Structure 1
Amino acid sequence: MKKGTYNRFWRWHFFGALFMAPLLITLTLSGIGYLFYNDVENVAYKDLFFGTSEETSQLTIDEGVSLVKQENKGFEVSKIMIMDEPYNTRLTLKSESGEEKYVFLDDHNEIVGSQNPKYTYANIMRNVHSSLFVGGTVVNYLVELAACWAIFLLFSGLYMTFKSRALKKPKKSTRRLQFKRIHALIGTIITIPMIILIFTGLPWSAFMGNFIYTASQEHPSIGTPLLKQQPPTSDMSEIPWATRKEAAPTSEKPDPHAHHGGNGEMPGMDMGHNGISVEELMGKVQDERISKPYSIVYPFSEDGVFTVSKGSNTGVTGLDVHPSEEMTSYFDQYSGNLISKVGYEEYGILAKWFTWGIPLHEGHLFGLPNKIINVIVCLAFLFLIFYGFKMWLSRKRNGNISAPPKTTSKISIGFVVLMVILGVIMPLFGISLLVVLAIEGILYLFHRGKGDMRTE
């Protein structure tokens, strides 16, 4: 590649870093915070997670749910997380206005306490990391765009490192060359680990995440198994990524005068008919050899189903399982019979990749070593940004941004090919490139017009 290509990479690398650095720093710091959400919450919420109620009478799970509903008027139970010992059972409640609440039951199914989901450590870290705690489509796209530009910054930095031989020790060292060498060395070491971290986080993104999931759904042989039934209407946040938007089967509505699985109205539902109790459902789950922990998502229509799932990326302390144990099953809400079941072994290669990749990104795929490796990579990335700015400040002149020089040479084929590849792999990045090119084109025409006026 020619010198003009180097300068073009340098210039785009500089401006990309300058504008995206604040976002990348925020995402990295919140990512480090999220890595340890299990450890933090086990200590911060130990009374709720492991404590017991002052009441000692033994209740059934259904009696416990009914008690929760009585003490939380205006809320309905939408989900139950059946945890393995020593964790307490956790209920998710929702109101008609969309307000949520967590309520915990001890081993006697008595109420231990409640939480506001908005302000739990895990949810705060997750919301900052994914949407800057602001949310909305524009913010979600901005966060994803920062991740995409980080990929470009790593690739372009790697190219400039080897093109300029930045790793070679200079004969005469200056502060700027020292900063450049450290910046180049860190970037070279963490490029591959950082790209893996970024790509394993993209399934949760707004634009590319939806694209990946759509591809997974439309091609079951490489993605997720196809269930051609009505989609569920309940919240699916604790269901595995691979089956989260998958269509669920429906329950067969019984004779309205017949009794199916109990005499009382099903907890968490206000549909005016009888259905299987949670206690009975748990018995059916046990018969299917589904072990704890797992979550139960209530049906919210007359032909809906109970969704029972085990996920490796639930975001709930104590609920995650190994990727190979992931499972989503559907039980008839009246008879309690198993209708269908989708396990990890039935996933296509794309779904399996992200089922392993997401826990790797979140730092709990292989325990503490996973967290330590992720922290080291994230800290190195922060140092990479720090030394990049130190390098810029060491050559920056007062009152001048000191951007890399413009180049008037033709764009090389290598540069175009790289940009096209990155734009195809990361569509949002590709769109942003078109915007950048349009701005540069307008500025070029503007300056050219001014030059023509001077010559008249």
Structure 2
Amino acid sequence: MAKRTYNRFWRWHFYGALFMAPLLITLTLSGIGYLFYTNVENIAYKDLFFGNSEETYQLTIDEGISLVQHENPGYDITKVMMMEEPYNTRLTLASEDGGERYVFLDEHNEIVGSQDAKYTYANIMRNIHSSLFAGGTVVNYLVELAACWAVFLLLSGLYMTWRGKALMKPKKPARRIAIKRTHAWIGTVITIPMLVIIFTGLPWSAVMGDFIYSASQDHPSIGTPLLQQQPPASDMSEIPWAVRKEEAPSSGEPDPHANHGGGKMPGMDMGGNGILIEKLLWKARDAGIEKPYTIIAPSSEDGVFIVSKGSNTGVTGLDVSPYDEMTAYFDQYSGDPISTVGYSEYGILAKWFTWGIPLHEGHLFGWPNKILNLLVCLAFLYLIFKGFQMWLVRKKTGSLSAPPRAGRPVTAGFIILMVVLGVLMPLYGISLVIVLLIEGILHLARRKRRPASV
């Protein structure tokens, strides 16, 4: 019975590694690249991030925004990112055809330069890591499926290490045994940190990410707090994960005595009744909000300005400590604060991912976080390499040399593990059903080819 269970884990481990290794290598390499995106971008985009325009005339932030809108026809300004010194202010522009552009303003609010958002280093690494830079639902599912199978590979590897006593040093080690022992040691050491990295990345996944967020929304006691809000239509990627899909409260009626003429984000059709951005900055300062933070433009006549600080923005110079995360809503006409959601109001699930996502991205506790993640990723790549090396040593010419099929019966422990993983990771569960169907078809085909007994 134990041998059959071992062979079953071995066979599934073999095929899972064989088919998922290319994706896992791609995800790991892109993850390593993303770990250091802030360091790369600070050098690659030094002039945009820290440079100055040749113009030295001092403009207000609203005049700078108007200048950007004038020089970028067809684009609407949707976000203003107020950075700490020495970073320049960064504006996000969006067009109707889905294009996105970043424009930078210096200390005089003069234009320093711009870049296509799609081709920045951080966005390229992120898109490769999350969707192989191809995008689309199918690709997103495939990436998530690879992460789910990585969990099974790690857990099944631990079982085989324990059951096969792979960590024990043999008296007369053959080359394959030595490789297997190295493979087993690496897998044992990195299983827990690798599982942490995988599960802290799942909030951005297609299926489990939506499930986790829905659970967080439906159960405020463990997730995100309830707000009486109206959903904004603008993209909110710089808003903290815990409140990213929360509805925003509505603004009051337009104040006929408000400071008119330019307070709205240019290109937003709000009748010109919104407050000046300069005034909003003062309102944010009075509310105790310090840089860095993002301002999201109202999306409708009764929408609000959203001012947020996030620990997982994906924008160089914008991340803050999880404790400092907050999202504040300001009336677009008066500039008065309406409501604020802070880290202390998150439920335990939202707090976990508020810490977990920056841990996954490698900037929760500075350089040590980056180095730790890097070492785990490099060890994971070496683990894959040793696994393939072990297969090639035992592989016979002209044969796949897959592990032997396991006969019946199937142990209860194996079934329970597969069911639990399938429930926790729905895409993995679906893939298991497909694997079982394929195994069943192959089994029937072999039985038909088997000669009848005389």
The answer to whether TM tops 0.5 is: yes
- The superposition leaves residues 179-225 of structure 1 with CA deviations (integer Å, 9 ceiling, x where unpaired) of 10000000000000000000000001000000000000000000000
Distance in 2 between residues matched to 1:455 and 1:331, nearest whole Å: 82
Give the TM-score normalised by the residue count of structure 2: 0.98
Conserved? CA contact 2:78–2:93, under 8 Å: yes
Residues 305-320 of structure 1 mapped to structure 2, 5 A cutoff = 305-320=304-319
Q: Structure 2 counterpart of 1:336, which letter?
A: G
Secondary structure of the equivalent of 2:93?
A: strand
Q: Which residue of 1 aligns with 2:21?
A: 21
Structure 1 residue 52 displacement after superposition: 0.3
Q: Which residue of 2 aligns with 1:341?
A: 340
Q: Which residue of 2 aligns with 1:260?
A: 258
Distance in 2 between residues matched to 1:86 and 1:432, nearest whole Å: 49
Q: Determine if the alignment matches structure 1 residue 79 to structure 2 residue 73.
A: no
Q: Which residue of 1 aligns with 2:230?
A: 230
Secondary structure of the equivalent of 1:199?
A: helix
Structure 1 residue 242 displacement after superposition: 0.3
Q: Which residue of 1 aligns with 2:303?
A: 304
Q: Which residue of 1 aligns with 2:429?
A: 430
Q: Which residue of 1 aligns with 2:125?
A: 125
Ranges in structure 2 where 5+ consecutive residues have no aligned partner: none
Distance in 1 between residues matched to 2:246 and 2:145, nearest whole Å: 27
Secondary structure of the equivalent of 1:263?
A: coil
Secondary structure of the equivalent of 1:224?
A: coil
Structure 1 residue 363 displacement after superposition: 0.3
- The superposition leaves residues 240-278 of structure 1 with CA deviations (integer Å, 9 ceiling, x where unpaired) of 0000001111112326xx242223462322332311110
Distance in 2 between residues matched to 1:353 and 1:263, nearest whole Å: 43
Distance in 1 between residues matched to 2:415 and 2:261, nearest whole Å: 69
Distance in 2 between residues matched to 1:65 and 1:254, nearest whole Å: 22
Structure 1 residue 335 displacement after superposition: 0.6
Q: Which residue of 2 aligns with 1:215?
A: 215
- The superposition leaves residues 354-374 of structure 1 with CA deviations (integer Å, 9 ceiling, x where unpaired) of 000000000000000000000
Secondary structure of the equivalent of 1:340?
A: strand
Distance in 1 between residues matched to 2:253 and 2:96, nearest whole Å: 25
Secondary structure of the equivalent of 1:286?
A: helix
Distance in 2 between residues matched to 1:65 and 1:45, nearest whole Å: 21
Q: Which residue of 2 aligns with 1:165?
A: 165
Q: Which residue of 2 aligns with 1:90?
A: 90
> Aligned-pair RMSD on alpha carbons?
1.1
Secondary structure of the equivalent of 1:296?
A: strand
Q: Structure 1 counterpart of 2:282, which letter?
A: G
How many residue pairs match? The answer is 453
Distance in 2 between residues matched to 1:92 and 1:115, nearest whole Å: 10
- The superposition leaves residues 292-318 of structure 1 with CA deviations (integer Å, 9 ceiling, x where unpaired) of 000000012111111100000000000
Q: Determine if the alignment matches structure 1 residue 59 to structure 2 residue 59.
A: yes
Residues 16-415 of structure 1 mapped to structure 2, 5 A cutoff = 16-254=16-254, 258-264=256-262, 266-268=264-266, 269-415=268-414
Conserved? CA contact 2:62–2:263, under 8 Å: no
Give the TM-score normalised by the residue count of structure 1: 0.98
User: Percent of aligned pairs with the same residue?
Assistant: 72
Secondary structure of the equivalent of 2:101?
A: strand
Q: Structure 2 counterpart of 1:261, which letter?
A: N
Distance in 1 between residues matched to 2:169 and 2:264, nearest whole Å: 73
Distance in 1 between residues matched to 2:103 and 2:23, nearest whole Å: 34
Conserved? CA contact 2:265–2:297, under 8 Å: no
Conserved? CA contact 2:13–2:157, under 8 Å: yes
228-237 vs 25-34, which moves further: 228-237
Conserved? CA contact 1:299–1:333, under 8 Å: yes
Distance in 1 between residues matched to 2:317 and 2:38, nearest whole Å: 8
Secondary structure of the equivalent of 1:57?
A: coil
Structure 1 residue 228 displacement after superposition: 2.9
Conserved? CA contact 1:259–1:274, under 8 Å: no
Distance in 2 between residues matched to 1:265 and 1:10, nearest whole Å: 64
Structure 1 residue 444 displacement after superposition: 1.4
Q: Structure 2 counterpart of 1:173, which letter?
A: P
Conserved? CA contact 2:262–2:275, under 8 Å: no
Distance in 1 between residues matched to 2:339 and 2:427, nearest whole Å: 37
Conserved? CA contact 1:30–1:129, under 8 Å: yes
Q: CA, structure 1 residues 265+372, in 2 after alignment: closer, same or farther (shift >3 Å)? A: closer
Q: Which residue of 1 aligns with 2:415?
A: 416
Structure 1 residue 407 displacement after superposition: 1.4
Distance in 2 between residues matched to 1:267 and 1:33, nearest whole Å: 34
Conserved? CA contact 1:232–1:304, under 8 Å: yes
Q: CA, structure 1 residues 36+59, in 2 after alignment: closer, same or farther (shift >3 Å)? A: same
Structure 1 residue 227 displacement after superposition: 1.3
**Runs ≥4 residues deviating over 6 A:** none
Ranges in structure 1 where 5+ consecutive residues have no aligned partner: none
Secondary structure of the equivalent of 2:141?
A: helix
Secondary structure of the equivalent of 2:8?
A: helix
Distance in 2 between residues matched to 1:17 and 1:33, nearest whole Å: 23
Distance in 2 between residues matched to 1:20 and 1:443, nearest whole Å: 21
Distance in 1 between residues matched to 2:264 and 2:245, nearest whole Å: 25
